[in-house]
Structure 1
Amino acid sequence: EAIRLARGVILREYISDVERLSDHLSASMRQTQISQTLQDALARYTQAIPNVRFPWGERNLTEAYRRFLAYVLHRLRQSLDSGGVASYTSEEFSQDLLLVRVSLCANNGSRLARSFVDPLLRKLRSFGFHLHVLDIRQHREVHAKALEAIEQDRKRNRKQENSFGPQQDVTETLRTIAQIKRAYPASAITRYVISGTESEQDVLVLLELAKRNSVRMARSHEDPGVMPVPLFESIASLRRSPEVMRRLWQHPEYAPLLDSWQRWQEVMLGYSDSNKDGGMLTSTWELYKAHRELHHTADDCKVKLRLFHGRGGTVGRGGGPTHSAILAQPPGAFSGQLRVTEQGEVLNWKYSDAVLAEWNLELMIAASLESLLQARTQHADRQARWEEAMEEMSELAYALYRHDIAENPDVLEYFEQATPVNEMDAARIGSRPSRRKKSRKLQDLRAIPWVFGWMQSRHAVPAWYGVGHALQQFAAKSVSQQKLLREMMQNYLLFSDLIRNVELGIAKADLAIARLYAGLVRNPALRKRVFSMLEAEFTRTRTMVMRVAGQRQLLGRNRVLARSIRLRNPYVDPMSLIQVELLHRKQQAESGPDLEYALGATINGIAAGLHNTG
């Protein structure tokens, strides 16, 4: 349905564009000639397509451009009415426009070509007949279970149509992909993201499933194919990702596919899950190292790598200013192409207004150009020292985060009672269930509700926990270590971007309101243990961030953002108080549609006020 609607939107846009183009191309053949190739194309259309409506008159034979574009409009409308792929393709549309352009340029119409034909050609190159590309995404475990079940069915001589469970979901998805590529522009689906990738076998399993369901993965002249996009999410998988990709790229079954894609490969890096797994500092550092080593591995294997950054709107999910994030990439590890995720609310804030949309795109392009042009050897003499410091601080932060948060059963119980995470499914604001499985383990909770719950309850734990401890322990060793931190803040883009993002997360947190949410925890001893632990690390992190940044207050160097948060908080705080009361009522077994509606309203209101959901 999404593909059908998108196709209709872009075809109607092209129809309007060609109508405007026809308005401008009023030149008569009595005044200027057209190219012979355009004359021949017009003659072929006249012979092949009867009953065409000519907006400028059927007997108007001298305005050749308008007459030719009438046939183009006819074919576009036919494609729109067909609901699927008709006889007119985006490539044929492009060729028709190029015929018009070449004819104009050859007959003193270059300005008309630049002003009216070129913008339409650029739009067509960008959007084709599909408008947008849909990514398919599924977890590796689902693929593995599906293939295993299919093998068992085959041994029992049971038809695949009679199967149920994971294999049915995966089979239906793959068959739908094949059907869509036959019925709609094949460019509408070109990537299949494999969540939780741990080894090259996870990709090969998908290839086998695709083969069994007639999905062509390799690129051809008519079809760009479907590229598997491994998504590395946990800290352990990020560390293994370069060698996993090396083995995949060298695998005899995968090499022909890679060649068909002209040696391009997309790899996705998971910011939110790595944060949930290892904390803010370790996630940032491991993503940076994986980014760099993946590019080195790709160079060794003669692969053109494009990284897909699974960044969210909130700092805890890799959010923050995109411009500085692009500049903070490893030196020499940017190919000029990248993909980033933008959350729903971020789309609204950044792109709903044309001026803001242009400004945000300019920032991204400017950062990309600057990243390509910056010297690879900049600060090379000090880079090794900075990386050693990051490695040491990452180990300190990781140890504390795993002990206090990830492996602490008290925290999960506290989190489920002191945040509205369990209301996420009821409020219907997530695209997927909060948990991958029905277990109560932290690893089965998706990263989005994890960040969502902490942000809604004003703790913002994923944005800062462990950072203060690491900075304090590192700085306490010597005065030279303290100077090194200040040096890194001034010259090391990765570190300064990290500190600024942590500072933003702390500024959005409010421990006074978080304490009210903590009051929802039914076990007083557990409540005190966890909140005291969080409060101590929050205070430590705030102190160390301001010390390293050389500031007396949070956001001291970003007064505009500080003022924005200061103005928003008086409107957000009452909604937080109302939400705490509503959650308390729900704990007391009160229920009903009015309560659910009010809770949903507070969730949306707080998310809008903080400019974060999860």
Structure 2
Amino acid sequence: MTKIPSDTQLRARVKLYGNLLGGVLRTQEGGRVLTAVESLRKGYIDLRKEDSPRKRLKLEQLIESLDAETLTHVVRAFSTYFSLANLAEESFQHHIRRAQVYRGGALWNGSFDATLREFREQGVTIAELQVLLDNAAYIPVFTAHPTESRRRTIMEHLRHIFLTAEQLDDPRIGKAQDKELIKKLEYQIQTLWKTDEVRTNKPQVRDEIKNGLFYFRESLFDAVPETYRYLEKAIRRIYGSDLTEGQHIRVPNLLHFGSWIGGDRDGNPFVTPDTTVLALRLQKREILRLYLRAVTDLTHVLTHSKNLCVISESMTESLEQDMERFTAVFGDFPQRFSKEPYRRKLYVIRHRLKHSLSALEAHLEGYDDSPYGDAYLSEQEFLADLYLIRDSLISHGDSEAAHGELQDLIRQTETFGFFLVHLDIRQESTRHTDAVSELFSQHAALPDYSSLNETERLEVLGDAISHANELKIDKSKLTEATRETFETFEVMSRMRHEISPKAFGAYVISMTHTASHVMEVIFLASLTGLAGRNGNEWFCNIRVSPLFETIIDLEHIEPVMTNLLNNTTYASLLKSSGNLQEVMLGYSDSAKDGGILASVWSLYEAQTKISSLARARGIDCRLFHGRGGTVGRGGGPTHDAILSQPEGTVRGQIKLTEQGEVLSYKYSNTETAAYELSMGITGLLKASTSLIRDQNTDRSEFLQIMDKLAMDGEAAYRGLTDNTTGFVDYFYEATPVTEIGLMNIGSRPSHRKKGDRSKSSVRAIAWVFGWGQSRHTLPAWFGIGTALENWRGNDPDRLAKLQRMYVEWPFFRALLSNTQMSLFKADMDIAARYAELAENKAMANAIYQTIRNEYNRTVSHILSITGATSLLQETPQLALSLTRRSPYLDPLNHIQVMLLKRCRDESLPQEERDKWLNPLLRSINAIAGGMRNTG
């Protein structure tokens, strides 16, 4: 029986990586870098065990004595170590799960196996399970938010190291092979070391598009069918005995992927209509190449002979038609594979895919696709061919072959089509208002839009949408901004025909404040044929998703959405497109605005309100969660996050952003990607049980308590961030946020307004990134301690209620669990060193003490409520992982503080200051990797 791996094996793998990296440093850097790294590593490990002011001073003197080049390589060494340690942990977790599968029995919480067993124990019938599956849509959306500080080249090298190390765990290899693999790992790590991990230039949007494609090529294309296989096997294992003869549980296409990369133009001047076209074409090229590889592989699998099986009649007819239509496939060898019908069909499929790819390449190079007439017109044609082969195989008893590699390709095609991902478009609401005002001014019969009130705007927009085909637009008279806004809709209309009707996801409107903001987008869409009326029939080929971001926006969601859904024109358009309303909720800006407690509670209440509004009107509602990587931006384990949503608000569908560094941690390797997708799907299925069962949980008392906690938490947070003199200066001086803006990690500016040092100007990503680097991590927890203390006081009964909330309420449990992770990553002693960077020492000390006191208060109350003696006691593996990193993060933080002093010291010559900038930027990269998140 396979044994569950122990932590000893993980530590051995981390040690192997460390030794190999040490060997590389010794041979490549002459020993001086390794000596410094080891002195710092061992010294800070000792300080973690027992503090010694003398030893601490000695280590700081060592840091200050290093020249810029040595310091750069010391930082790089720690950064590389973190990358390798992360790989070891990812592999270890995968092996634990695999060993559990081999042992049999119940698997981990959130696995398909455990979830279905739970359903069966709860009495969920086959019919009810089918309802859950039929209504399920799990939609991760990849974004280019600049929080992934690693280059794609580095990720590719790490993938190679991961695959080589996996071979070391094969029990069949001997000592000689083991040595060869370790030698291979050594040179792979050496290559990694000699590859610059910091980008030389700021990435262009094109680079970000390619970074997004990396994950599909390297892992997701294979992880998707693997995930479906795991689900189907679990269903057969748990529910198989309940099925009558001929009965089966069908697993529909429930996995979908979205993207903002190349479509998110809010605050990013580099995303243009041409950029969006490029993104769509590169996505299509990527998936066509993957299909070509898969079809070629199938030609070596489906080698059935006509002499040994009788193919279906429809298959025979299709082949005859192919030979008449696609004469170029076999050229001078028209009888090739005449006795092997599936290979013959697959060659036709491959020929057509090649024509599709060639036509696409022509578009990318600026030519038309006229010479490629054999190309597939749509993904449905391609799918039809695959279904034809599958059904024929089943007809002559080869079901196993039909449900092998061919079924994997069918799953991939159902998921990715010819579009790969559904590209969302995002723009800020005032751009549409300005565009509508300008377009209205071209027609004397239309009123001055800017002078209308909200009621008048809704009325005039509804009328204009129904008569959009009568309005002629003179683009030459438009301002540049309006012309670009208008051309975005033209691109959407055109690319739905060129790429796929499914090429686009939603049109997301940032800063939605009124119902007219949504209707403005519909009006602009109607001018390009995306919505409107054909005679008496409404049609709508665009889905608009209003985004509510700030605390005030979330509080106004009910009146805004009521006005929108009550609008007869909008209701007709929505009905014509499937009666599904998507609403996006912004986590990052609401948390930056009012603090984590006010944010999560406003989001909770907003979901309840919009779900109730939609249900009352017979409308399906899909909530789109704009979660970031860190807890301060809505992050945390996806499975638990979905379960923590208000009961009854998740009804089969959920959409959520996957941002920055989260992508590489979740989706760089097939094994981990399949695990992450399955955890998301099971969370969705569990949270959607209101589709099959009434939920009458009375949480009225808990809700009242949360109202008070959120109010006090927001007051405490705003008291610090909005009403404390000098706080914004403290943020800019006691964190590296300004220097983060110099890093080449994203095409989007770190501030909305250049030079504006206000809290409102800095983007939520940079806000959380800066606090995380300086080990404050305050956006994820500040205000919680005060709120808990105010409500609880010294009343033991109130403490007992909070403890009951933690045990019984998934929302509250997830909140405190995520908070613990952020508190664990904080280090108030290190934060104190950053506070010393501030110019006004007295003011900075007062602010720091306020932060430290709230930290201690929050830790104390959370431990009381959870009944733990230390943070993360209930998740020991996570605690161990973070603890393992601390002695390596400590020297990096001290190095960074010293470098910030030097780079900011205006008494030094500019040339002297500049030479420390390179290691400083690399220290930001390294700390982000060590903490396993950035913004």
Asked if the contact 1:331/1:376 (under 8 Å) is kept, the reply is: no
Equivalent of 1:51 in 328, 342, 353: 328
Return the alpha-carbon distance in structure 1 between the equivalents of residues 653 and 808 of structure 2: 25
Matches of 1:611 and 1:105 in 2, distance apart? 47
The one-letter code sitting in structure 1 at the alignment partner of 2:355 is: Q
* CA root-mean-square deviation: 2.6
Query: Does the 8 Å CA contact 1:410/1:526 hold for their aligned counterparts?
Result: yes
Task: Name the counterpart of 2:390.
Answer: 101
| Structure 1 match to 2:782 | 465
What CA deviation, in whole Å up to 9, does each residue of 1:426-446 have, x standing for no partner? Answer: 102234212223444322322
Residues 309-364 of structure 1: CA deviation (Å, up to 9, x unaligned): 11111110111111211111111221121111112211111221222222222222
Return 98-107 or 590-599, whichever deviates more.
590-599
> How far apart are 1:484 and its partner, in Å?
0.8
Matches within 5 A, 1:466-485: 466-476=783-793, 478-485=795-802
User: Tell me, what secondary structure is at the counterpart of 2:874?
Assistant: coil
2:312 corresponds to: 35
Kindly tell me: are residues 593 and 134 of structure 1, through their superposed partners in 2, closer, same or farther at Cα, counting changes over 3 Å? farther
Q: 1:146 to 1:580 in 2, by over 3 A?
A: farther
- The 5-angstrom pairing of residues 415-494 of structure 1 reads 415-438=731-754, 439-476=756-793, 478-494=795-811
The within-5 A match list for 1:8-157 is 8-53=285-330, 58-83=335-360, 86-151=375-440
Aligned to 2:508: 193
Match of 1:544 in 2: 861
| CA apart distance, 1:34 | 2.1
**Alignment partners' CA distance in 1, 2:483 and 2:899:** 40
Is 1:598–2:926 an aligned residue pair?
A: no
Amino acid paired to 1:114: H
- SS of equivalent residue, structure 2 residue 300: helix
Structure 1 residues 56 and 416: alpha-carbon distance in aligned structure 2, compared to 1, 3 A threshold: farther
Which residue number in structure 1 is paired with residue 269 of structure 2? none
> Whole-Å Cα distance in 2 between the matches of residues 158 and 48 of structure 1?
43
**Equivalent residue in structure 2 for 1:524, among 833, 841, 857:** 841
Does 2:475 align with 1:160?
A: yes
Partner secondary structure for residue 635 of structure 2 = coil
Structure 2 CA distance for aligned equivalents of residues 582 and 169 of structure 1 = 43
TM-aligned CA distance change 1:103 to 1:576, over 3 Å: same
Residues 54, 67 of structure 1: 8 Å contact kept: no
C-alpha contact 2:628 2:657 (8 A) present in aligned 1:
yes
| One-letter code aligned to 2:352 | R
Structure 1: tracts of 5 or more residues without a match: none
Alignment of 1:209-228 (within 5 A): 209-212=524-527, 214=528, 216-217=530-531, 225-228=541-544
Amino acid at match of 2:808: N
Shift, 1:370, TM fit: 2.3
Query: Given the alignment, which residue of 578, 581, 600 partners 2:898?
Result: 581
Q: 3-state DSSP class of the match of 2:683?
A: helix
Structure 1 residues 165 and 61 mapped into 2: Cα distance closer, same or farther (>3 Å)? closer
Q: Shift of residue 64 of structure 1?
A: 2.3
Give 3-state SS (helix, strand or coil) of 2:581's partner. strand
Deviation, structure 1 residue 453: 1.1
Please state whether the residue corresponding to 2:629 is helix, strand or coil: coil
**With structure 2 as the length reference, what TM-score do the two structures score?**
0.62
Match of 2:874 in 1: 557
1:600 and 1:343 map into 2 onto residues whose CA distance is 21
Query: 1:312 and 2:628 equivalent?
Result: yes
Change (3 A) 1:601 1:54: farther
Q: Is the 8 A contact 1:246 1:298 kept in 2?
A: no
Task: Please name the residue that 1:502 is paired with.
Answer: 819
Most deviating of 177-186 and 532-541: 177-186
**Which of 568, 574, 583 is equivalent to 1:252?**
568
Verify the 8 A CA contact 2:424 2:506 in the aligned structure 1. Answer: yes
Per-residue displacement from partner, 1:453-497 (whole Å, max 9, x unpaired)?
111111111011110000001111633212111111221111111
The one-character-per-residue Cα deviations of 1:278-315 (angstroms, maximum 9, x if unpaired) are: 11111111111111222111111111111111111111
Q: Give the 3-state SS of the residue equivalent to 1:400 in structure 2.
A: helix
| Distance apart, 1:366 and its partner CA | 2.2
How far apart, CA to CA, are the structure 1 residues paired with 2:423 and 2:723? 36
Secondary structure at the aligned position of 2:404 is classed as: helix
Of 120-129 and 338-347, more deviation after overlay is shown by 338-347
SS of equivalent to 2:871: coil
Call closer, same or farther: CA 1:377–1:504 in 2, change over 3 Å.
farther
Cα deviation digits, residues 176-203 of structure 1 (max 9, x gap): 3334334322322231111111121111
Which of 584, 592, 597 pairs up with 1:268? 584
AA aligned to 2:296 is E
CA distance in 2, matches of 1:352, 1:59: 40
Q: Which residue of 2 aligns with 1:333?
A: 649
AA aligned opposite 1:246: T
CA distance in 2, matches of 1:485, 1:265: 35
Deviation at 1:75, TM superposition (A): 0.8
Match of 2:750, SS?
A: coil
The TM-score with structure 1 as length reference comes to 0.93
**Could you tell me how far 1:17 is from its partner in structure 2?**
2.0
**% identical equivalent positions:** 37
Moved more, 238-247 or 418-427: 238-247
**For residues 818 and 532 of structure 2, what CA distance do their matches in structure 1 show?**
40
DSSP 3-state at the match of 1:309:
strand
| 1:173 counterpart letter in structure 2 | T
Mapped contact 2:734–2:836 kept (Cα < 8 A): yes
Asked if the contact 2:424/2:504 (under 8 Å) is kept, the reply is yes
Paired amino acid for 2:357: L
Confirm or deny that 1:612 pairs with 2:929: no
SS at match of 2:625: strand
Please state how far the C-alpha of 1:236 moved relative to its aligned partner.
1.5
User: Which residue matches 1:351?
Assistant: 667
Question: Higher relative CO (CA 8 A, sep ≥ 6), structure 1 or 2?
Answer: 2
Amino acid across the alignment from 2:717: Y
Separation (CA, whole Å) in 1 of partners of 2:797 and 2:693:
26
**Which of 511, 520, 541 is 1:205 aligned to?**
520
Kindly indicate whether the alpha-carbon contact (under 8 Å) linking 2:439 and 2:473 is maintained by their aligned counterparts in 1. no
Pick the aligned partner of 1:371 from 687, 697, 709: 687
Aligned residue identity for 2:795: S
The change in CA–CA distance for 1:200 and 1:94 in structure 2 (over 3 A counts) is: same
Q: CA 1:161–1:554 in 2, change beyond 3 Å: closer, same or farther?
A: same
Aligned residue type for 2:636: G
Q: Distance in 1 between matches of 2:530 and 2:915?
A: 50
Q: Mean Cα displacement is larger for which, 504-513 or 517-526? A: 517-526
The secondary structure found in structure 1 opposite 2:513 is coil
Q: Which runs of 5+ in 2 are unaligned?
A: 1-277, 364-368, 370-374, 449-471
Q: Deviations over 1:109-164 (max 9, x none)?
A: 32221224322211110000111122111111232233334455778999534644
Q: Specify the code of the residue in structure 1 equivalent to 2:581.
A: Q
Contact 1:76–1:88 under 8 Å retained in 2 = no
Structure 1 residues 116 and 531: CA distance shift in structure 2, 3 A? closer
| Structure 1 residues 399 and 20: CA distance shift in structure 2, 3 A | same
Give the secondary structure class of the aligned counterpart of 2:892. helix
Cα pair distance change 1:517/1:163, threshold 3 Å: farther
Larger mean Cα displacement after TM superposition, 173-182 or 594-603? 173-182
